[in-house]
Amino acid sequence: MKCKRCRRADAAVDLPSHHAAFCPDCFFVFFRRQVTEGIRKLRLLAPEDRVLVCVSGGKDSLVLWDVLIEEGYETEGLYIDLGIDGYSDRSKEKVLAYAASRGKTPIVVELAKEEIPIPETARCVRMQECAVCGTVKRYFFNRVAAEGKFTVVATGHNLDDETARLLGNLLHWQRDHLARQHPLLPEADGGLVRKVKPLWRVSEVETAAYGFLKGIDYVTEECPMSEDATSLVYKEALSRIEDRMPGTRIVFYQGFLDPSNPMRKRPETATPAGGGPTPEDAPGADAVHGTEVAAEGGEGTARACVECGAATFTETCSFCRLKERVRKARSLRAATVSR
């Protein structure tokens, strides 16, 4: 089959949802156009933005970084070393190698050095790893962005991620989560940086094809902590529907984003006094990826955490409370051992 765009080279990527097939070069053009259209339509980024790209070592975040660099955005990479045996080392290696190939050095946060590696922290506080990871990552996204004067944080969530989350939220009619789910979360008082998902229009298969054809080396293994994540069940269910009815995912997600969709509005009983969008740091924002994020308490305007100054809806932010719970669990264990 010939490429549908140049009609000369052999097609290398078949895209039934777009009724198209492209050669590598034309696919790069197509893919970048999908991303830039996604950015333009929802006004995710402005040319003058300083973008902090959160890179995990997986295909999505490295492909995102690659496209943003190619499109001329001012970017830096942020790698959070979760302290997961083996997996974290392999991921970091991929991030450093990719960054070096673009003449970059990523910002690295090591959770082990911060004394909150994910596996041990989850055990200490008896929470699911994905929930702990969400709290910790959001904290560092905001902190590193503030310290480095970044205007926006970008993550590599693709169409498959977003629709799996949407399906999970709809199956349980999580009105609050639905109202907050969007590729753009505007910046908010108290140091909550704007967060964007520029890959929202491209599928996992498309992202993987872009990474592969571009020769980007990424970790292919799933995070070992998320193996049982419910989001994978939703993703698989949607994949089967998409296989039979190509294009369903994008119709589903674009229909959801339509401002006239009533699921975009927060339920009336829970509308904060000020109205308007609520940052994802509010309670339960990431319920589908793993389980409930530790509740931050009330709603309304964020204020500064009495411990660390980070934006929070309670006196002490969820990150500081997490650290405190880990500290207590550790001293309890030390006391038990020494007895």
Q: To the nearest 10°, the Cα dihedral for 316, 321, 323, 326?
A: 160
70 with 102: CB under 8 angstroms? no
> Which runs of E-coded beta strand occur in the chain?
13-15, 20-22, 50-54, 74-81, 107-110, 152-154, 184-185, 194-196, 303-304, 311-312
| Residue number with CB closer to a copy of itself (269 or 338) | 269
Distance in Å, CB of 243 to a copy of itself, minimum:
9
Distance in Å, CB of 265 to a copy of itself, minimum:
7
Distance in Å, CB of 10 to a copy of itself, minimum:
32
Kindly give, in sequence order, each residue whose CB lies less than 8 Å from that of residue 98, ignoring residues fewer than 6 positions away.
Answer: 55, 62, 65, 66, 216, 217, 218
Chain-centre distance for alpha carbon 139: 13
| Residue number with CB closer to a copy of itself (36 or 231) | 231
290 with 134: CB under 8 angstroms? yes
d(CA 1, CA 181): 39
d(CA 52, CA 238): 30
Q: Which two tokens stand for residue 7?
A: 């009609």
User: Partners of 303 in the beta sheet?
Assistant: 312
| Residue number with CB closer to a copy of itself (261 or 301) | 261
| Residue number with CB closer to a copy of itself (93 or 222) | 222
Distance in Å, CB of 247 to a copy of itself, minimum:
10
Q: Which residues bind a copy of itself (CB under 8 A)?
A: 170-173, 230, 233-234, 236-238, 240-241, 244-245, 248, 251-252, 255-256, 258, 260-263, 265, 267
| Residue number with CB closer to a copy of itself (252 or 313) | 252
Distance in Å, CB of 300 to a copy of itself, minimum:
22
Distance in Å, CB of 100 to a copy of itself, minimum:
41
Q: Which two tokens stand for residue 61?
A: 């975040």
Kindly give, in sequence order, each residue whose CB lies less than 8 Å from that of residue 151, ignoring residues fewer than 6 positions away.
Answer: 48, 49, 50, 51, 193, 194
Distance in Å, CB of 152 to a copy of itself, minimum:
29
User: Partners of 80 in the beta sheet?
Assistant: 109
| Residue number with CB closer to a copy of itself (265 or 327) | 265
